[in-house]
Each structure stands twice: as C-alpha cells, then as structure tokens.
Structure 1
Amino acid sequence: MLRCPNCNTHDLGKVGSNQFYCWGCFIELTLENGKVASIYQVEEDGTLSSLNDLFLDSSQDSLSM
C-alpha cells in the first residue's frame, strides 16, 4: 500500500488516474509505473509548489508502491 513520503501515513485520497492527495500533510503525488514521479505541496490559494527537489533523488526507489 502506498504511503505518503512526507508524513508516512496511508491517509491518501485518489484525485486522478495516477494522482493522490495526502490528507495529513496536504501534498499531491503523481505516479508513473507504480513509482512516485512528482510531489507537490498544495498551497492555501490552490496553487501547487513542487517538492521534487526534496523528495525525488536517489531515494526514489524507496517511495514505490
């Protein structure tokens, strides 16, 4: 089961075919081939700020389903 890479909870909701939203820390994840491809923080005004530079590096394999 997929866990949030930020807060490590299973409290994720599906918002698109490959997009999930964490209700614990308000980030949005996009999956490609079962792995996290991008991570965004949802701001108060609804815009998205990329968190890829914080989470997606050589540790990307540990974020897979």
Structure 2
Amino acid sequence: MNCPACGSKATGKVGVEQYYCWDCCVEYSVRRNELNIFEVAEDGTLMVLGTPGEI
C-alpha cells in the first residue's frame, strides 16, 4: 500500500488496519473506507493530521 501523504511505497503494517510510512514518518489507518493520518509524537502518542485532502 502506498502512503496517502507522500505516495511512498516504504510502508509497513503496525496494527490492524494501521500502517507506518518510513519516508515521511506518519502513521495512517484505514477503517470503513475512512482514512486518518497521524503524526507520531516523541512520546509515541498519535496526533491527528487529517485526511489527504487537508494536508
């Protein structure tokens, strides 16, 4: 699966319907045809960035 934020193929699955992009360092989830993109904070928490159209 390509990263929805940068288009990279350097992605990996980190959970159920959750993926991580090694190029732009974002995590994203795909649930019920809804895509959410998160920034991973230094403490490991996820901060919502939005959907691809909002970035």
TM-score category of the 2 structures, normalised to the smaller one: 0.7 to 0.9
Map 1:1-65 onto structure 2 (within 5 A): 2-33=1-32, 35-52=33-50, 55-56=52-53
- Which structure: larger Rg? 1
Query: What residue ranges of structure 2 are gaps of 5+ in the alignment?
Result: none
Tell me the CA shift for residue 56 of structure 1: 4.8
Cα deviation per residue 1:11-59 (whole Å; 9 max; x = unaligned)?
11101121001111111111124x452110112221211111x5256xx
Give the secondary-structure state (helix, strand or coil) at the position aligned to 2:15.
coil
Residues in 2 aligned to 1:8 and 1:37: alpha-carbon distance in whole angstroms? 14
RMSD between superposed Cα atoms in Å: 1.9
Q: After the TM superposition, list the runs of 4 or more consecutive aligned residues in structure 1 that deviate by more than 3 angstroms.
A: none
Counting matched residue pairs gives 54
Q: What is the percent sequence identity of the aligned residues?
A: 39
- State the TM-score, normalizing by the size of structure 2: 0.75
Give the secondary-structure state (helix, strand or coil) at the position aligned to 1:24.
coil
